[in-house]
Chains A and B, each alone.
Chain A
Amino acid sequence: MDLLNNLALGFSVAFTLQNLLYAFGGAMLGTLIGVLPGLGPVATIAMLLPSIYALDATPALIMLAGIYYGAQYGGSTTAILINVPGESSSVVTAIDGYQMARQGRAGAALAAAGLGSFFAGCVGTIVIAAFAPPLTELAFKFGPAEYFSLMVLGLIGAVVLASGSLVKAISMILLGLLMGQINTDVISGTPRFSFDIPELTDGIGFVVIAMGIFGFGEIIANLGQPAESREVFTKDVKGLWPTKQDFKEAWPSVLRGTALGSILGVLPGGGALLSSFAAYTLEKKLVKNPRVPFGKGAIQGVAGPEAANNAGAQTSFIPMLTLGIPPNAVMALMVGAMTIKGIQPGPQVMTSNPELFWGLIASMWVGNAMLVILNLPLIGIWIKLLTVPYRFLFPAIVTFCCIGTYTLNNNNFDVFMTAIFALVGYVFYKLSCEPAPLLLGFILGPMMEENLRRALLLSRGDWSTFMTRPLSAGLLIAAFLMVVVVMLPSIKNKREEAFQDAD
């Protein structure tokens, strides 16, 4: 069995002391930032990117992956206990979870979330291990035309499922693609849009953009809002284990959430956020007569979405690992991290770096296990952290971001660029332009251009090549259909309604 051999290789890598430590460190750090509202995995991973120069590729990626799924756990803890979702993906958890906490059932809610997430994480890991190799095979059949079309599909998919205006989101992608054009043209060697600034001929570092927009931009936005008062239910967290009745009600939801999340995570634009929303809607539709109505503390409303967001977080690694195409902003940063370590993301990673590939997959299971064992007893500590006032927290984020940007190239040019992007990030915030699509576009821009130009070169300038090659045509048609379907009035209203529910 290939699958078993591969997983065995993966576990032998993941169980080395060094990698266990990094998985642990990443998961802990992820939980920490998941608990703290106002600091998400995107900003944290961006902040840490400069420091991974000092690490090997495998432990570095294991740690970054740990941050991502750790944040899902941490985010749900605060959603349940204080009605402040630490992560956007735990927004729906707060609806029923917080109500459970108010009725003194915080323990049951936390356990349902934790155990549900763990189960989903295990399944997600197996799904990755099973589906990555065949997808990789398929990816090797791709020529430049197919890659270009795939990226179009990926970028479009990333925004149709997101909230907010579709036209604005596509514009943000284009803006990101254009910012990726500030570089030296690979084919002719002409420096472009550099205004004769030598540092710009290498392109803008994507860490600079990510840190400026997601790190600093968010701090400024947070500080611009009035401080909120919070109600904390720390004293009531006892009786962690759910009752038999709770178990009986929660496990079908966990199964459904896991299945839904695993599928949605693979889709472009999918991942944790979309999965949890979809799962909550599904639970509301399927559970006809809940003992406690939804919105009033139904355990199904916690277990389903929590399982779904963890499964989605896991399987969103599939497009990144097999095709080199990031489905969301966190994966875009992972692609960046691989590039920093000299690994070209794409289907060849599995054959050229099998230890990295399978080690990373196995470490996700290990990390999930650590999280569930450690987090349930540690919940008290995480809650204490919330009492750290923001006035201590944000100077720390500023400091780490500043040092991080300086050490990118050991000069202060990147620091000044980050200052510019901090301003840009605040402008985006004020104009309600979602910045995540911009980051995706920026990462994919150079790859897209290269594949487009190569495809046109091969077809002697014939644009129809994208439609005559069946795989490429299929991908483009899928992208087109996505836009059309979302534009349909009936779906458009539903979509707006669904996101309204969440607020």
Chain B
Amino acid sequence: MKIKSQRDFFSGLMFVLIGVAFAWASTSYSFGSSARPGAAYFPFWLGVLLAILGSMVLFKALTIESEGGDPIGKIAWRPLLIIIGAIVMFGLALPRLGMVITLPLLITVSSLAGDEFHWKDALLNSVILTVGSWFIFIWGLNLIIPLWPAFITAGA
């Protein structure tokens, strides 16, 4: 057996696994009957249906020839890891360090994901975006976002 379309093969696999997982997990809730459907009724059948469709995609990926094997291609590890890392860092830092420190950090780190990185650009961008965000979100929309680091506001 040879994979004829990589993209379809892996999407089919993903659908089957997720469908089975949901169907299996829903068995721990009350199923009910058709007349009185319980909490598991709808997700169970959705999961089963997804697994069936997923196996159709899988089957097609293994039997029907596609152009050049439809490869997934190179994974852009650098932007992927940097952007996701930057988001997680933002989530951890904002409540502790406030916007004044977190945003320049976020902007500088995420700038590293691009092809070109210049310190001057990153700094300029940080200043503009931090001031802009303060202006829009805190001053303009009155949203509650920590502005200064917790150790400063706690001391004051």
Q: Interface of A with B (CB < 8 Å)? A: 50-51, 54, 165, 167-168, 170-171, 174-175, 177-178, 181, 185, 187-188, 190, 192-193, 216, 219-221, 223-224, 227, 390-392, 394-396, 398-400, 402-403, 406-407, 410, 412, 415-416, 418-419, 422-423, 426-427, 430-433, 448-449, 452-453, 456-457, 460-463
Given contacts A190-B39, A419-B84, 15 further A-B contacts (CB under 8 A): A167-B60, A170-B53, A175-B50, A178-B46, A181-B26, A193-B22, A223-B114, A422-B83, A422-B87, A426-B80, A431-B11, A433-B11, A453-B37, A456-B37, A457-B36
Give the complex CA separation of A174 and B114 in angstroms: 35
Contact B36 A174 (CB under 8 A): no
Number of interface residues of B (CB under 8 A): 72
Question: Which label, helix, strand, loop or mixed, suits the secondary structure of the A interface?
Answer: helix
Contacts of B8 in A (CB 8 A): 165, 168, 431
Q: Does B156 contact A (CB under 8 A)?
A: no
B11, closest chain A residue (CB): A431
Q: Distance (Å) between the CB of A185 and the closest chain B CB?
A: 4
**Within 8 Å of chain A (Cβ to Cβ): is B67?**
no
Q: Which one, B26, B84, B117, B144, contacts A192 given CB within 8 A?
A: B26
Given the contacts A167-B57, A185-B39, A54 and B87 also touching, CB distance less than 8 Å: no
CB nearest to A181 among chain B residues: B43
Q: A190-B29, A399-B133 are in contact. Are A407 and B143 (CB under 8 A)?
A: yes
Are A175 and B15 in contact, CB atoms less than 8 angstroms apart? yes
Interface of B is mostly: helix
User: Given A171-B50, A220-B80, A419-B87, does the pair A461, B36 have CB atoms closer than 8 Å?
Assistant: yes
Residues of B within 8 A of A (CB): 7-8, 10-11, 14-15, 18-19, 22, 25-26, 29-30, 33-39, 41-43, 46-47, 49-50, 53-54, 56-57, 60, 72-76, 78-80, 83-84, 86-88, 90-92, 94-95, 103, 106-107, 110-111, 113-117, 121-122, 125, 129, 133, 136-137, 141-145
19 example contacts (A-B, Cβ-Cβ < 8 A) are as follows A167-B56, A177-B46, A178-B18, A178-B19, A181-B43, A192-B26, A192-B39, A193-B26, A219-B79, A391-B117, A392-B125, A402-B91, A403-B137, A407-B144, A416-B87, A426-B76, A432-B11, A452-B42, A461-B33
B25 and chain A: residue at smallest CB distance: A193
With A422-B83, A431-B7, A457-B37 as contacts: A190 and B30 at CB distance below 8 Å: yes
Residue of A nearest to B93 (CB): A412
User: Is A399 a contact of B88 with CB atoms below 8 Å?
Assistant: no
| Chain B residues with CB under 8 A of A448 | 42
Distance, CA A165 to CA B5, complexed state (A): 13
Q: How many residue-residue contacts, CB under 8 A, span A and B?
A: 194
A32 to B7, CA, bound (A): 34
Question: Do A395 and B107 have beta carbons less than 8 Å apart?
Answer: yes
CB pair B106 A398 closer than 8 Å: yes
Docked pose: A170 CA to B50 CA in angstroms: 9
B72 proximity list for chain A (CB < 8 A): 430-431
List 9 tightest A-B contacts by C-beta distance, closest first.
A224-B76, A461-B35, A461-B34, A415-B91, A223-B79, A412-B91, A185-B39, A419-B87, A174-B50
CA distance A88 to B33 in the complex (A): 45
A456→B35 CA distance, assembly (Å):
6
Nearest residue (CB) in B for A432 is B7
Residue on B nearest A426 in the bound complex, by CB: B80
Please, how many angstroms separate the alpha-carbon atoms of A433 and B12 in the complex? 10
Q: How far is the CA of A432 from the CA of B10 in the complex (A)?
A: 10
Say how far A164's CB is from chain B's closest CB, in angstroms. 11
Q: Evaluate contact between B54 and A171: CB separation under 8 angstroms.
A: yes
A32 → chain B closest CB, angstroms: 14
A431 CB, min distance to chain B CBs, angstroms: 4
Question: Which residues on B sit within 8 Å (CB–CB) of A396?
Answer: 125, 129
Min CB gap B33→A, angstroms: 6
Q: Is A188 in contact with B35, judged by CB distance below 8 angstroms? A: no
The CA-CA distance from A456 to B57 in the complex, in Å, is 31
Tell whether A412 pairs with B46 under 8 Å between CB atoms, given A398-B86, A402-B87: no
Q: Say which residue of B11, B46, B47, B94 sits within 8 Å of A168 (CB atoms).
A: B11
